[in-house]
Chains A and B, each alone.
Chain A
Amino acid sequence: MSGRVREILIAGAIALAMVGSAGFMAAFVLHEDIHWQGAALVVTFAGFMLAAIGWSRWILPREQVVDERSVGVPSTDASSDASLGGVRQAHDDTASYDLERGAQQLNRKKWLGRMLLAAVGLFGLAALFPIASLGPEPDDTLFHTKWRRGSRLQRLDGTFVKRNDLNAGAMETVFPEGNLDDAQSVAMILRMPDGIGRDALDGYIAYSKVCTHAGCPVALYRAADHKLVCPCHQSVFDAANDAAVLAGPADHALPRLPLQIGDDGYVRADGDFPEPVGPGFWERA
């Protein structure tokens, strides 16, 4: 077999590995079953194996080395000391000589070497794909909470907020009706003194309780000057002014929950938060 034919055979094996990797990526993305995904990987490994065998037989020069044994011969400390001192430079040269010579032998056919590198890269990429199995698609999950138009505001003890429940200066933690403990939806309702707070409904204003900096609950409320403070990194929000950031590392205001009050006296949400709650993320814009 001529050298050219051998090179082409090796290239064919590498191409097989590439096809396998690409096939696995496709089969993974398309959720093909175990047989297709497995078959693609088998083709990949078979290709690499054949390429390595070809490399070993046809590209590398055959070589035998003879190692003398040292185990069993009593070792002396003196000899190992010497190798650290004067002899080191010599070893240094031989190590780099070995590496460079070996690399040259491996890379005698440069185009095959480049092709193999590309195939290994492609396989590396394919091997990352199963990471995508680890969780569901985010879709627009982060853009919504459990609040709906008409959701009543439920406290942890199960009771609902009614028109006359809160005095001016009071703050309570609430969840959308039937979703107690939903971490994304947690909100606080504040009763402001008369004339404070834009568009307050009978003095009621509600904000998301999830800090827009790093997601802690904004648990501190100072009624005297209407300030909401996050205990984690001390971001301060102005409850009287759409929870705008007054100080601290938070970079945007707490989302405001639109409210309505029905004839039955229950305070209700007038829809979901108009923007995603909590800390910022790439798709938030």
Chain B
Amino acid sequence: MIARLLDWSDERLGSSSFIHKALRKAFPDHWSFMLGEVNLYCFLVLIATGTFLALWYVPSTNEIVYNGPYALLRGAKVSEAFDSVMRINFQVNAGLLIRQIHHWAANVFLAAIVVHMCRIFFTGSFRKPRDINWVIGVTLFFTAMFEGFSGYSIPDDLLSGMGLRIAVSILESVPFVGTYAMFWLLGGTFPSTLMLQRLFTLHVYIMPLLLLGGISVHLMILWRQKHAQFPGPGRTERNVVGSPLFPNYLVKTLALLCGVVGVLTMLGAFVQINPVWIWGPYRPDLAITPAQPDWYIGWLEGALRIGPHWAIHLFGHMVPSVFWPGLVLPLIIMIALVSYPFVEAYLTGDRAEHNLLDLPREKPARTALGVAFFVFMAALFLAGADDLEARYTNLSLVGLVWFYRLFCIFGPMLAFAITYALAGGLKARGGVHQAPRARLTRKAEGGFREDEVG
């Protein structure tokens, strides 16, 4: 039966050689290699739940009177979009569960991307030949961030409307074309009648296609190049050792799939997320406080809060202050991330192909740089909640702003120095987690005596 199916397919596609190689493909047995799969499975959950939500969501700013079962908003003027989200929450069987799983999956998706990127970075997996996949991965990361933000923006609740207003202001600040770009995006001024239609199209059509295409290429390149691996007995630059895809790895990754979906379902069922009925419908004249975006936009929010108030007025034109933290900084970060493999190759002169991974301590400079970058982003992220921190610590908000400004500059330097020293020390000591060595001596009466050796 199986043999006949294979023949059938081989006669048409010449597929048997590929299938044979695919079935026996080696997947290294290190847990950190499953981080990327967590991303993939989050993406699948996002598509499945998102499809369900799209069947209900109405991308319309048309104002109607809410008349659903949620008593506190009955009689309120809401957009048809908000009304449709309320219907999903309170009237569609399993609707709220699916919506919350969708939102959680987005947050976990971005988090898993960050962790995955950390693994790639700190083990030097981004080096040639995987520099190409690093570039695609970084692109996917930022696409996913925009995708998340656009989804966050379309329920047309108060929080999403505030976020969208800020995003539009950033777009508006771009020199030369900002005003036009804003009008192109919204089909008018904010809040335009078309804006939800535009964001919805971006969210369910354009960006998912980009993500799907990018992920496909990412995986095809991974497949072609084969996995990198940690050094170990029998592992060389010219091979890869691991479990065969079929059947061993397949079962493992299915277990992971069930685990990821299970955790997302648990979060969706038991941890409330974005309760839009509490925020209420968006109104341009209202704001709520405290207002924080989803976590992956937190660093941008922080940058806007501690950014300098420098506006440039030149030749009758203006570059407003929001331009620096809102666009220049993200652009610098993007360029830094994308170009890092090439910069490192240039600085170290190491242009060789690498299939064996580094332990982070083996490359103190790279590891220190990564930690410094992480600290920089974390400082921005924490600055994004400075109002809450000021409230709970009774510190002055202005003081906190200055603290974070200084921390963004000196924190990474400090982190670099500490990490460099630590990693250098570990490197000098050799393996930290080598098992303690022992000397075995055969005793005269038989048996062994075990002496620990330092």
Contacts and interface: CB of A to CB of B under 8 A. Distances in A.
Contact of B248 (A37, A63, A98): A63
> Number of contact residues on B: which range applies?
35 or more
Interface in B370-396: none
A38 B234 CA distance: 46
Interface residues of A, number: 50
A67 B265 contact: no
A130 interface: yes
A105 B262 CA distance: 27
Nearest to A35: B269
Interface string A47-66: 01100110110001011111
Contacts of A49: 255-256, 258-259, 262
A92 B3 CA distance: 8
Contacts of B225: 71
A133 interface: yes
A78 interface: no
Contact of B24 (A65, A71, A130): A65
Interface string B237-271: 11111111011100110111011011001101110
A83 B269 contact: no
A48 B242 CA distance: 24
A42 B266 contact: yes
Given A84-B14, A100-B2, A67 B26 contact: yes
A164 interface: no
B97 interface: yes
Given A56-B251, A60-B248, A66-B240, A45 B261 contact: yes
A53 B254 CA distance: 9
B240 A106 contact: no
A87 B18 CA distance: 13
Nearest to A64: B241
Contact of B258 (A45, A88, A106): A45
B20 A98 contact: yes
A28 to B, nearest CB: 6
B253 to A, nearest CB: 9
B255 A67 contact: no
A46 B262 contact: yes
Interface string A230-246: 00000000000000000
Given A28-B94, A41-B269, A65 B26 contact: yes
A195 to B, nearest CB: 53
Contacts of B19: 95, 98-99
A128 interface: no
A88 B246 CA distance: 21
Contacts of B355: 69
B353 interface: yes
A102 B238 contact: no
Contacts of B238: 68-69
Interface in A25-48: 28, 31, 34-35, 37-39, 41-42, 44-46, 48
Contacts of B243: 63-65
Given A95-B20, A100-B2, A67 B239 contact: yes
Contacts of A39: 269-270
Contacts of A102: 23, 244, 246-247
Contacts of B129: 71-72
Interface string B292-316: 0000000000000000000000000
Contact of B270 (A35, A52, A83, A92): A35
A31 B262 contact: no
A79 to B, nearest CB: 11
A91 B268 CA distance: 46
Given A49-B259, A56-B252, A130-B52, A37 B269 contact: yes
B350 interface: no
Contacts of B14: 84, 88
A98 B269 contact: no
B258 A52 contact: yes
A95 B23 contact: yes
B259 A45 contact: yes
A71 B2 contact: no
A116 to B, nearest CB: 11
22 contacts: A37-B94, A38-B97, A38-B268, A41-B265, A42-B262, A49-B262, A52-B252, A67-B24, A68-B238, A69-B237, A69-B240, A72-B129, A92-B6, A92-B7, A95-B10, A96-B6, A98-B24, A102-B23, A102-B246, A130-B52, A132-B93, A133-B92
